Homo-oligomer: A and B are copies of this chain.
Amino acid sequence: MQLISGAAVAEKVLEECRRDIAALAAVGKKPGLAVVLIGDDPASRAYVRSKDKKCRDLGLHSVKLELPASTTQEEVLAHVHALNNDPAIHGILVQSPPPPHIDEAAIVRAIDPAKDVDGFHPVNVAKLALEDPTGFVPCTPLGCQRLLMDAGIETKGANAVVLGRSMIVGKPMALLLMAKGPGGDATVTVAHSRTQDLAFITQKADIIIAAIGRPEFLKAEHVREGAVVIDVGINRVEAPGTEKGYKLVGDVAFEEVAPKCKAITPVPGGVGPMTIAMLMANTIKACKQS
């Protein structure tokens, strides 16, 4: 069984980023990422902080915009417009979820698609479906694809099952895997909460991408011998007796599934580090294309 280390592949991606940043510096360009945080959700604050830190470590220009929870829709839009027009900024990300009075979809649509490094703008959604390589693909599924490719997993002709049909992970993952070319050409099944007899579906899979947000949902009985499992889930579950009182687990019951697998990602240390690495890569791509 091969343990796919997201941390190691992410480090490789970041090394490529460093090379790209050096090459861009040689022509007087410096990629810039702006992260907009509205409100004071602790998890969101932690994410934004780690993105900011990763940017600075790499030598990217990083702008962290922390707005109070009382910020109005119009004020957020005004900030987005200013960032759209700021030539030092190549990537814009509005941390999800914003407070409930904010229309998140409208904010995403206001971001210049050429700076939409999260890949959630409709223009980039369409580019993914249309297999247009100038678009931005959401960081998590892009990271999953990179993990597969880096681990030497052949997707062409493979039976891939994506669990989950969200626009954050499930659908873009499916579109990536069914696209023509390296990392694609898979026969892709999208399963979800309405799927009947999930084990019947997943037992046929060469590759399973689990992105349903249910702790340790995928069991040994769901997986055939020799499958490759990518676990997108990051779920906090109670762990009495530990220092923090909780632990992080994926959507996969790792202990029982891993022994059956040809390859599997752990949680933490799997998909997680890839998401932020692909955000850096997307920001550099945006800078190159600007």
Contacts and interface: CB of A to CB of B under 8 A. Distances in A.
Nearest to A135: B122
A123 interface: yes
18 contacts: A126-B126, A126-B129, A129-B129, A129-B171, A129-B175, A156-B194, A159-B201, A171-B178, A185-B192, A185-B194, A186-B194, A187-B189, A187-B192, A187-B195, A187-B196, A187-B201, A188-B190, A189-B189
**How often does this chain occur in the complex, in copies?**
2
Give the secondary structure class of A's interface: mixed
A175 B125 CA distance: 12
A165 interface: yes
Given A122-B126, A130-B167, A187 B191 contact: yes
Q: How many of chain A's residues touch chain B, expressed as a range?
A: 20 to 34
Nearest to A123: B122
A195 B157 contact: yes
A45 interface: no
A127 interface: yes
B196 A157 contact: yes
The 9 lowest CB-CB distance pairs between A and B, nearest first, are: A122-B126, A189-B189, A125-B126, A185-B194, A157-B196, A126-B126, A187-B195, A187-B191, A125-B129
B190 A178 contact: yes
A54 interface: no
Interface of A: 122-123, 125-127, 129-130, 156-157, 159, 165, 167, 171, 174-175, 178, 185-192, 194-196, 200-201, 204
A175 to B, nearest CB: 8
A153 to B, nearest CB: 15
Given A187-B191, A200-B204, 5 more contacts: A122-B123, A178-B192, A187-B189, A187-B192, A204-B204
A193 to B, nearest CB: 9
A49 to B, nearest CB: 30
Contacts of A167: 129-130
| Most B C-beta atoms less than 10 A away, residue of A125, A129, A186, A187 | A187
A128 to B, nearest CB: 8
Nearest to A193: B185
A154 to B, nearest CB: 11
Contacts of A156: 194
A32 to B, nearest CB: 26
A124 to B, nearest CB: 8
Nearest to A187: B195
A187 B194 contact: yes
